[in-house]
Amino acid sequence: VSPAPGRLTDLLDDVGGRLRARGERMTAPRRAVLTVLARQEEHLGAEAVVEAVSALDPAVHRASVYRALEALSELGVVQHVHVGHGGTAYHLTDPHVHLHAQCRRCAVILDLEPGLLDGVAGTLLSAHAFVLEPGHVALSGLCERCSAS
């Protein structure tokens, strides 16, 4: 994703251009989804996106949010992470890949340093010819709070 989206408008324009370049269109639901994802640093589940979009623009239907997430994912603007407890979380594609870990008790998601799994990726490649995609699933465990109590 090219320009650092300091302003939401820039993001919308950029994505709009890329959609049009593929013969697709920038629409209200897609704008709403991008707006929600851009202002949130947390990772949102599909249902959470639906709710936030709904608050922003009640005319946008649930199904359109799902379709927008799919379309924007295909474009590469949005990515998802699978988290063990609780399905799929969505976020804007970040120029620097980041990894995720989720607390299996309180479900909080931590963002981790990009290189964390580089060594493991190498091992998997040489030992199993498996190409790791490190950002695509969240590691599981217990966060500081939950492991303490």
Partner DNA sequence: ATCTTTGCAAACTTTTTGCACCAAT
Partner DNA sequence: ATTGGTGCAAAAAGTTTGCAAAGAT
Decide: is 88 part of the binding site for DNA (CB under 7 A): yes
The count of residues interacting with a copy of itself (CB under 8 A) is 34
Binder of residue 104, out of DNA, a copy of itself, none (CB less than 5 to 8 A by kind): a copy of itself
Q: Does 81 bind DNA (CB under 7 A)?
A: no
∠ Cα 55 28 78 (to 5°): 85
**Interaction pattern, residues 9-28, with DNA; x per rule: CB under 7 A:** -------x--xx--xxxxxx
Is residue 144 at the binding interface for a copy of itself, with CB under 8 A as the rule? yes
82 lines the binding site for DNA (CB under 7 A): no
Long-range contacts of 37-42 (CB under 8 A, 24+ apart): 37/78, 37/90, 37/91, 37/92, 38/5, 38/8, 38/11, 38/92, 39/8, 42/109
CB neighbour burial string for 9-30, b if at least 16 within 10 angstroms, e if fewer: eebbebbbebbeeeeeebbebb
Name residues contacting a copy of itself, limited to 57-96 (CB under 8 A): 82-85
Query: Residues interacting with DNA, by CB under 7 A?
Result: 16, 19-20, 23-30, 45-47, 59-64, 66-68, 70-71, 87-88
